[in-house]
Amino acid sequence: MTVGLGAYLTLAAVLFAIGFFGVVTRRNTIGILLGIELMLNAVNINLVAFARFNADVVGMIFTTFTIPITVAEVALGLAIVILIFRTKRTAIADHLDILRG
């Protein structure tokens, strides 16, 4: 039995939704970062799936760029979280509202 494009896209969509759910509901900033990772990987799956089924390597090339950028982003994000924790003694997103209007 062959697995079609639709299955990959569904997986990616489910993964994206889970990641988005995590981003908007987690109170911990690290949890939010994890959610963002899930969303990015859902996009990666989409890119690879389209590359595979359309016999086009551009998607693959994109993915090879996205993965290291994701890594860098996580490193940066965690560093920011640590800095915020040092100054504010908290990592809860709801407490970080100094830009409130």
Partner 1 sequence: MTDPALPALAALLLPAAAFLILALAGPLRRLGRPAAYLSIVFSAVALVAAIGAFRLAGAAGYSAWVWSWIPAEAGPLATVGVMADGDSALMLVLVALVSFLVQVYSLGYLSDESMPSLGRYYTYQSLFAFSMMGLVLAPNFVQLFICWELVGLCSYLLIGYWYTRPEAARAAVKAFWITKAADIGMLIGIVLLWRQTGTFDFLELLQLVDAGALPLAGLGVITFCIYLGASGKSAQFPFHIWLPDAMEGPTPVSALIHAATMVTAGVYLLTRTVWLFRLTPDVMQIIAWNGAFTALLAAVLACVQSDIKRVLAYSTVSQLGYMMAAIGAGFASAGFLHLLTHGIFKALLFLGAGAVIHAVGANDIFAMGGLRRRMPQTFIVFLVGTLSLAGIPLFGGFFSKEEILGAVLVGGFPVPFAMLLLGAFLTAFYMFRVIFIAFFGAPAASHGAGDHHVHDAPPFMALPLWILAVMSVGLGVGFVAWHPKAEFEALGWVTYAAVGVAVAGIALAYLVYERRAISADALATAFAPIRAAALRRFWIDDLFAGIYRWLMLPFSSLVGWIDRYFVDGILNVLSAWTLSAGSAIRRIQSGRAQDYVYGIALGVLLLMVWIRWPR
What distance in Å separates the CA atoms of residue 77 and residue 29, rounded to the nearest whole number?
A: 9
Q: Which is nearer to partner 1, 32 or 47 (CB)?
A: 32
Closest approach of partner 1 to the CB of residue 26, in Å: 8
For binding to partner 1 (CB under 8 A), which residues are involved? 20, 23-24, 32, 93-94, 96-101
Q: Which is nearer to partner 1, 13 or 58 (CB)?
A: 13
Q: Which is nearer to partner 1, 51 or 93 (CB)?
A: 93
CB-CB contact of 37 with 63 (8 Å): no
